[in-house]
Amino acid sequence: MSVSIDLSGRVAIVTGGGSGIGRETSQLLARAGAAVAVGDKNKATAQETAEMINKAGGKAIGVEVDVTEPEAAAEAVESTVQAFGPVSILVNNAAAWTVGLFKDITKDDYANKDIGVSLIGTMVMTRAVFDVMRENGGGSIVNLISDSARVGEPFMVAYGAAKGGVISFTKGFAKEAARAKIRVNAVSPGTTKTPGANPIIDKWGGEEKLMAAYPLRRLGEPIDQANAILFFCSDMSSWVTGQVLSVNGGYAMVG
């Protein structure tokens, strides 16, 4: 006997799917049977992920989208529906951040990157997909947050604030959207080896040094996050909404 997760017939949008956790998640959802629209502001990397999926026998398209732009978000949803049918999964993974002491970063930094992409982009994409999901009988939205929002981290204060906003949005919207049979949950990664995080890992002394803070004594791999995201996307979590799951090797244990 075995247990498997089957997303056949589901249509997913993964934002920030051109890199790191978003790329791995796009591939995993496709392996589980979903048709995946890989959204990224970087058209080339979005298409690259989609090609990887199609070559492996899955179904994907690459979609250029800046998640901070409502019109672009609406167009991304529309082209996904045209390619594959109604969307029932959205992974709000795209994010941007500034690293440095709060006194040294500017309003443009956090308005355009941390809060602009990570918080506002999540809200914009969620709104863009909501009507289609509701009309299709429901769905699942998974938001990527960060342990920096749950426990507080220096040098990424604006990013932590933005992700804290995403936690509140996740919980509030989960209650609103439940009547439309839309579940909304969040995955909170600890430090995970991705093109986006690797420069930060180096800046903080490298992998060996950082992993000392992790009880399981390794940093995260993108697949660690993708597995948790898959759980929230699938019917295995059909009675779970408004929740935050840390996937972090035990770094922060938040009650």
CB under 6 A: which stretch of 30-38, 80-88, 92-100, 131-139 binds ligand NAD?
Answer: 92-100
CB nearer to ligand NAD: give 171 or 204. 204
Three-state SS string over the chain comes to CCCCCCCCCCEEEEECCCCHHHHHHHHHHHHCCCEEEEEECCHHHHHHHHHHHHHCCCEEEEEECCCCCHHHHHHHHHHHHHHHCCCCEEEECCCCCCCCCHHHCCHHHHHHHHHHHHHHHHHHHHHHHHHHHHHCCCEEEEEECCHHHHHCCCCCHHHHHHHHHHHHHHHHHHHHHHHHCEEEEEEEECCECCCCCHHHHHHCCCHHHHHCCCCCCCCECHHHHHHHHHHHHCHHHCCCCCCEEEECCCCCCCC
Quick check: is 214 catalytic? no
Instruction: Say which amino acid occupies 95.
Output: A
Tokens of 215: 């009880």
Query: Considering CB under 6 A, how many residues would be counted as binding ligand NAD?
Result: 30
Closest contact distance (angstroms) between CB of 149 and ligand NAD is: 9
Q: Which of 7, 10, 11, 16 binds ligand NAD (CB under 6 A)?
A: 16
Task: Give the contacts of 187 (CB within 8 A, at least 6 positions apart).
Answer: 142, 143, 144, 145, 225, 228, 229, 232, 244, 245, 247
Q: Does 174 bind ligand NAD (CB under 6 A)?
A: no
Closest contact distance (angstroms) between CB of 179 and ligand NAD is: 27
CB nearer to ligand NAD: give 58 or 121. 121
CB nearer to ligand NAD: give 139 or 189. 189
CB nearer to ligand NAD: give 49 or 237. 49
Closest residue to ligand NAD, judged by C-beta, is 196
Q: Does 25 bind ligand NAD (CB under 6 A)?
A: no
Closest contact distance (angstroms) between CB of 208 and ligand NAD is: 16
CB nearer to ligand NAD: give 136 or 214. 214
Q: Comparing C-alpha atoms, which of 170, 70, 163 is closest to residue 113? A: 163
Rule CB under 6 A: which of 66-85 touch ligand NAD?
Answer: 66-68
Q: Which of 194, 234, 237, 246 binds ligand NAD (CB under 6 A)?
A: 194
Q: Does 195 bind ligand NAD (CB under 6 A)?
A: yes
Q: Which of 140, 185, 192, 237 binds ligand NAD (CB under 6 A)?
A: 192
Binding stretches for ligand NAD (CB under 6 A):
15-16, 18-22, 40-42, 45, 65-68, 93-96, 117, 121, 144, 146, 189, 191-192, 194-197
| Residues assigned a catalytic role | 159
